[in-house]
Amino acid sequence: MRMTDPLYALYARRLRRQLRDRQRGGRLPEHIGLIMDGNRRWAKQMGMASPSLGHKYGAEHVEEVLSWCEALEIRHVTVFVCSTENLRRRGDAEVAFLMRLIEQVVANKLAGPDARWRVHIAGTLDVLPDSTAHVLKHAVDATRDCATGAHVTLAIGYGGRQEVIDAMRELMTERAEAGESLTDLAASLTAEDLSGHLYTAGRPDPDLVIRTSGEQRLSNFLLWQSAYAELYFCEAYWPAFREVDFLRAVRSFAARQRRYGG
């Protein structure tokens, strides 16, 4: 949703200039997590015939938000696309509509011939329709050699608690196959051991998590990885999330004195 008001454009330029100054001092986030909330409520507010149409506008908005991250040289973004709870609690028709949208956006926007972001997946593909899982796997393969250094992780069929359980299960299996007992594992276990088996292994933890729609909770998103992340809650619904809203969130992060562990 592009804004053409001259005052808006002037304000956005001012914010970008301020952040470029912060960037030179290393004050911008390396990794941003995005909780895209409020699609259905936005559609209702706009008087649309179906709340599901909010998902359409929200999905298409991801590409634009990634361009804002790219302009600030933010190289890692994790987008909370769909939780395991969403898949269980939403109606079959709505879930099917959402999955088709995901397939279209990923195939046409993120995994095209001019892809600028390397795609990663966080979640359990087994809970998704076969067609959706296929598109996501193809996107990962198609962007594997992306040379921009930018990484986007799509959290889909995702739950933070389940991620920790899966990581622990994988770690225990690995150690057992190596002949290590549970007692030995318990005595030597470190946070780094578990982190190496998360869906996001090999990528940095988020510095900043932004949630739209005014809700102030993580909703099972990157629970382990967000232990020391700064949180920013924006009142705008996701489809109405503007560049100035994004820039304000990053400016808020840059102005904070980060504290780890206390």
Instruction: Provide the annotated active-site residues.
Output: 37, 86
CA–CA gap between residue 81 and residue 121 (Å, rounded): 10
Alpha-helix residue ranges (DSSP H) falling in the chain: 6-24, 39-45, 53-71, 84-89, 92-105, 130-142, 160-177, 182-188, 191-195, 243-255
Distant-in-sequence, close-in-space partners of 112: CB < 8 Å, separation ≥ 6: none
Beta strand 208-211 with 151-158: parallel, antiparallel or unpaired? unpaired
Count of beta carbons in the 10 Å neighbourhood of residue 160 = 23
Alpha-helix residue ranges (DSSP H) falling in 178-242: 182-188, 191-195
CA–CA gap between residue 9 and residue 4 (Å, rounded): 7
Length of the chain: 262
Query: Phi and psi dihedrals of 253, rounded to 5?
Result: -60, -45
Sign of the torsion formed by the C-alpha atoms of 78, 84, 89 and 93 = positive
